[in-house]
Structure 1
């Protein structure tokens, strides 16, 4: 894999925000900061349209700092938010969809997503912070969490209010659709796994691939179960990896985080191997601790820090990721769930 976003990579190593970059005559990258967590920023891609106007791929986290970064980035390339005609959203997460509503208010731009993610954002549970919290707590309890621990990890409804107000989609993009941005041939590639409706965009004139969070150059995107998600998200993700790699090598991969690169097939192979290693580690944990819940099994896996330091959203991601791997092991016939309200897992007898 070759790093092509050298300025992004250098900024990452310096723990700094990378610069606004002109990637082609008609294409720029604008970093929009994320206020917490390890990802630091999301890259919004700005596309010039013939005859005037701009298109966006992803918008950034909805905060005043993020809005300023996006506005200043557009100004640096000679435009403004009011020039935006359309917003393509790779997936429903707040660092990608968050600012779409403010962009639409300032410009009248349409917002497009895959129907699976658009449906989640528009669902009554998602639009109601209290209902959203209750659903997530109940889901974690179904994975073996103590109700009080689950409630503490999820947090109060007021913390979820910003997510409930995210922009609803004006347009839906199915797999294979071409986005309505004149001068570009951006074909939607449905890549479920990270979210049910994750989209990559393959630009057919230039050979560029805007990969969202589906393929990142350094980290593996979180693949987790959700109360309103896919039944077997890891199986969907691995199939999506193979499908993207099978499209052939793009001229460059433009991800939503970290840095641009070449060598898609090599990176998809690495990501698939990572998950196979994780599946093997989890199967060993199930054999060593039969009758355990996903919540319990997560504590027996290798993480980036000691398990007792995991709490809140980090612990939720770890447990739901463990559950996603268990479901794939089950679909391969390697583990068996108890079938109770809170399933416990044992290795299948072979």
Structure 2
């Protein structure tokens, strides 16, 4: 059995808000910041961390270090369905009877993942990677995983179904607190930020604080890929959704952002402008690359990442090509590129 962490990493953000660094196994992000909000009916968690014994031990030890216990948790608010945010929600509910709230769009992803037959996701992924021009050597391990039944071990297959819906614009049921849901699609279709509409405990100028999940991070550009639904052929535009959501969050004028990774930060308007500029520059760069027709895979090979393409592991390459697709989809929606050819698809600037 994993040993309990000796010194839980907890932080006091003032005004009845704390955070716990819950580790993400084998991930360069390192940890998820699980936030605890004191309410008149007991503590409420914003996100819970990865479904892993060491992560669970860190979360529960952190709660005890803050003078409470997992059994006292009254509710769980999930910013989005990814396993480093929603993974431990079911265990928290089992230990406490807490409700779990999530936006309907992400709750649908959780439900679809749980109900899918083993292998459906890998079948879809193999077909999708073929359609974007991925080489056979990249797809072969996924086919092998499908044949061996390893699809049953993918994260998210046992994620908890939420029992409450987060309605954009509504105040969440936190006794004695004002926490309003802001729908911020882009990173996932149902991502939400949570606006704590209360004076900042240190009197920083601005309108309260924002729990931003992965939407707004101080030093990381969140992944924006295509929304994946094997049964839905709708042509989505996640990057367009994300850019619109960024501007909406920027207009809130909050005093401080409490993200799910890295650290809290002030002056979020500056960060919003940086991210908008980053994506504008990236779109312009992709138009230059698409002066000749390229598949999304060929485009991803030529894009700038945090390391050379040859050093990027296969799983991260799959994520990278999804991000390339999202940017191409945005350019296609803007009428700046057209699709040419059959399968694999190629795109060309106009």
Q: Would you call these one fold, judging by a TM-score over 0.5?
A: yes
Please give the alpha-carbon distance, in whole angstroms, between the structure 1 residues aligned to 2:144 and 2:13.
40
Question: Cα–Cα, structure 1 residues 330 and 306, in superposed 2: closer, same or farther, change >3 Å?
Answer: same
Are 2:245 and 1:245 equivalent residues in the alignment? no
Aligned to 2:166: 173
Aligned to 1:65: 54
Question: Cα–Cα, structure 1 residues 174 and 31, in superposed 2: closer, same or farther, change >3 Å?
Answer: same
Q: How many residues align?
A: 328
Residue 55 (structure 1) shift? 0.3
Aligned to 1:259: 263
Are 2:179 and 1:186 equivalent residues in the alignment? yes
Residue 148 (structure 1) shift? 4.8
Aligned to 1:321: 323
- Given the two structures, how large is their TM-score scaled by the length of structure 1? 0.89
Tell me, yes or no, if the aligned pair for 1:225 and 1:320 is still in contact at 8 Å. Answer: yes
Q: Deviations over 1:115-159 (max 9, x none)?
A: 000001101576444112212222222211235522426883346
Q: Deviations over 1:267-308 (max 9, x none)?
A: 000001111111111111111xx2211011111111111111
Please give the alpha-carbon distance, in whole angstroms, between the structure 1 residues aligned to 2:9 and 2:221.
24
Please give the alpha-carbon distance, in whole angstroms, between the structure 2 residues aligned to 1:165 and 1:181.
27
Structure 1 range deviating more: 72-81 or 146-155: 146-155
Tell me, yes or no, if the aligned pair for 2:189 and 2:227 is still in contact at 8 Å. Answer: no
Partner SS for 2:290: helix
Q: Deviations over 1:215-238 (max 9, x none)?
A: 000010000114329711000000
Alignment of 1:273-312 (within 5 A): 273-287=277-291, 290-312=292-314
Structure 2: segments with no counterpart, 5+ residues:
1-6, 200-207
Please give the alpha-carbon distance, in whole angstroms, between the structure 2 residues aligned to 1:155 and 1:325.
30
Residue 160 (structure 1) shift? 4.0
- Given the two structures, how large is their TM-score scaled by the length of structure 2? 0.89
Are 2:16 and 1:33 equivalent residues in the alignment? no
Q: 1:200 aligns with which of 193, 201, 216?
A: 193
Please give the alpha-carbon distance, in whole angstroms, between the structure 1 residues aligned to 2:283 and 2:126.
26
Question: Cα–Cα, structure 1 residues 217 and 80, in superposed 2: closer, same or farther, change >3 Å?
Answer: same
Question: Cα–Cα, structure 1 residues 127 and 150, in superposed 2: closer, same or farther, change >3 Å?
Answer: same
Please give the alpha-carbon distance, in whole angstroms, between the structure 1 residues aligned to 2:76 and 2:255.
23
Question: Cα–Cα, structure 1 residues 165 and 339, in superposed 2: closer, same or farther, change >3 Å?
Answer: farther
Ranked by relative contact order (alpha carbons within 8 Å, sequence separation 6 or more), the top structure is: 1
Question: Cα–Cα, structure 1 residues 181 and 128, in superposed 2: closer, same or farther, change >3 Å?
Answer: farther
Please give the alpha-carbon distance, in whole angstroms, between the structure 1 residues aligned to 2:129 and 2:238.
16
User: What RMSD over aligned residues (CA atoms) do the two structures have, in Å?
Assistant: 1.9
Please give the alpha-carbon distance, in whole angstroms, between the structure 2 residues aligned to 1:119 and 1:38.
28
Question: Cα–Cα, structure 1 residues 176 and 84, in superposed 2: closer, same or farther, change >3 Å?
Answer: same
Residue 161 (structure 1) shift? 3.6
Please give the alpha-carbon distance, in whole angstroms, between the structure 1 residues aligned to 2:241 and 2:334.
13
Tell me, yes or no, if the aligned pair for 2:35 and 2:45 is still in contact at 8 Å. Answer: yes
Alignment of 1:108-257 (within 5 A): 108-123=97-112, 127-152=116-141, 156=145, 157-158=150-151, 160-206=153-199, 207-228=208-229, 231-247=236-252, 249-257=253-261
Tell me, yes or no, if the aligned pair for 2:34 and 2:49 is still in contact at 8 Å. Answer: yes
Alignment of 1:45-64 (within 5 A): 45-50=35-40, 52-64=41-53
Please give the alpha-carbon distance, in whole angstroms, between the structure 2 residues aligned to 1:133 and 1:100.
25
Q: 1:88 aligns with which of 70, 77, 82?
A: 77
